[in-house]
């Protein structure tokens, strides 16, 4: 997250004055892209930046806020599931800058269309955050912490869980020595369809048709994989419940 | 399936001599696209076609084979989960022509890249089926009935189940009055990533990070939706088991 956001802000013309990380090595490496300071020493972090952006695991956010409570500026975190209130005891100007996207460190993503969900401690702060977000994306939404958590949960289904289904599919093939590339065209169409249809209107397959014989054949194939068999049964039942 | 395959074969230059369906209306409608006979009367079906292609629900395949057992030609079905042996008692030249794709009647799909899984009752018949398939796709695979069932199961995970995850995500948003369009960029990236990475290498999110606090927040949000909560727990556990 830190890599993606800092690169986008840098390319949008903002000055990244410092990258702070527990790992000096990774701080220096990222900072070198921007010709800025990379450090793991809190005293080396400028006290007067316009923005302080926290992009670290959720569990550590409060520790970092505490550690830098003498740094004044607009403090932001980038987490889907952390309330904006986490800043309240320590800072007066703060908010949230949450890109609704799946980010891997080894793949660059254009954030231009990615929704950035913003929240601010006051109308003025919110406006500043909005402007910052608008410098890297055209898709800004003011969303409170409670709705952001729902959206984050929804993204877990849309991305993490759907991706896991694809992983299970690839593993089923791999276990039989069948090339997983066979699935590429159906994956393309699956998601291309979702640009035109709601998922419910795009659905096909045995569970959605109520085709019990095929379900039984699939379960028979999974008889030595109890966990997968349960998952198959449970998801098929959930699909069945969406039929008219 | 009948619509998609017959259109593709027609555009590839084959003559669709007859469309037979239980519903005369739908047979006539589809046949009219090709200037051919549409009928629900079995006696009107030509006895001497090169190919007879069955594209109907799995449960009815054997009845149709029986009904037309005096029609000689190469008989094909288009099902993922039905063995080629279904023809054995009734025909001498037969096989399978299974496009590994998700097909909705109201959306056209180019089958050019779609894998067509073929199987034949003899090397000569297989060659004919291969040629037929090659007229509409560049991606033909000779696959036996047992492997085809595994591939079909895998496609259920890759397409039906992943699509259902997206449906659940869209429903979570809709229930809170949040626009489901917010998810379009993350869906695009989810599947664009899968062209470059295996799903396991693309995975992100709380379950994959082992982020128990976020999992708990999500479960709390689902406390009044027991079925969804169970699904969330079960899939998260399955994701957790894939971590290094």
Interface test with chain A among B81, B146, B154, B180, by most A beta carbons within 10 Å = B154
pLDDT of amino acid A197: 93
| pTM for this entry | 0.94
Give the helix ranges, DSSP H, for chain B: 2-11, 24-32, 61-67, 123-134, 145-155, 162-175, 184-193, 199-202, 206-209, 212-221, 226-240
* Gap between the Cα atoms of A135 and B22, Å rounded: 59
Q: Pick from B154, B131, B77: which is nearest to A184 by CA?
A: B154
What are the distances in angstroms from CA A26 to CA A2, A11, A23, A33, A119?
A: 11, 20, 6, 11, 29
Pairwise CB contact (< 8 Å): B59 & A211: yes
Pairwise CB contact (< 8 Å): B57 & A211: yes
DSSP secondary structure letters along B130-168 = HHHHHTT-S-EEE--HHHHHHHHHHHIIIIIIHHHHHHH
Chain B residue numbers with beta carbons less than 8 Å from the beta carbon of A198 are: 167, 170, 180
- Residues (pLDDT < 70) of chain B are none
Q: Which residue of B has its CA nearest to A83?
A: B217
Interface test with chain B among A154, A194, A200, by most B beta carbons within 10 Å = A154
Q: How far is A97 from chain B (nearest CA, A)?
A: 15
Per-residue pLDDT of chain A (244 residues; tens, 9 = 90+): 999 999 999 999 999 999 999 999 999 999 999 999 999 999 999 999 999 999 999 999 999 999 999 999 999 999 999 999 999 999 999 999 999 999 988 888 889 999 999 999 999 999 999 999 999 999 999 999 999 999 999 999 999 999 999 999 999 999 999 999 999 999 999 999 999 999 999 999 999 999 999 999 999 999 999 999 999 999 999 999 998 7
Pairwise CB contact (< 8 Å): A102 & B189: yes
Q: Which residue of A has its CA nearest to B159?
A: A190
Pairwise CB contact (< 8 Å): A242 & B167: yes
Q: How many A/B residue pairs have CB atoms within 8 Å?
A: 307
Chain B residue numbers with beta carbons less than 8 Å from the beta carbon of A147 are: 176, 178
Give this complex's ipTM: 0.94
Pairwise CB contact (< 8 Å): A151 & B158: no
């Amino acid at each position: 997250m830190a890599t993606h956001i800092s690169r986008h802000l840098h390319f949008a013309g903002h000055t990244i004055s410092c990258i702070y990380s527990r790992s000096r090595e990774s701080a220096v490496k990222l900072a070198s892209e921007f010709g800025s300071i990379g450090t793991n020493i809190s005293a080396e972090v400028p006290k007067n930046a316009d923005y302080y952006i926290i992009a670290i695991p959720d569990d550590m956010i409060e520790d970092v806020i505490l550690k830098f409570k003498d740094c004044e500026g607009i403090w932001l975190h980038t987490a889907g599931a952390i309330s904006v209130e986490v800043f309240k005891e320590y800072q007066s100007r703060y908010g949230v800058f949450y890109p609704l996207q799946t980010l891997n460190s080894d793949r660059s993503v254009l954030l231009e269309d990615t929704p950035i969900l913003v929240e601010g401690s006051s109308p003025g702060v919110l406006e500043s955050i909005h402007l910052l977000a608008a410098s890297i994306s055209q898709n800004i939404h003011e969303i409170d912490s409670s709705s952001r958590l729902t959206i984050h949960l929804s993204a877990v289904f849309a991305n993490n869980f759907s991706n896991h289904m694809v992983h299970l599919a690839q593993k089923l093939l791999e276990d039989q020595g069948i090339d997983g590339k066979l699935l590429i065209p159906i994956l393309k169409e699956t998601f291309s369809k979702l640009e035109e249809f709601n998922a419910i209107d795009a659905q096909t397959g045995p569970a959605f048709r109520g085709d019990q014989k095929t379900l039984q054949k699939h379960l028979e194939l999974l008889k030595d994989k109890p966990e997968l068999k349960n998952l198959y049964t449970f998801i098929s039942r959930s699909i069945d419940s969406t039929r008219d």
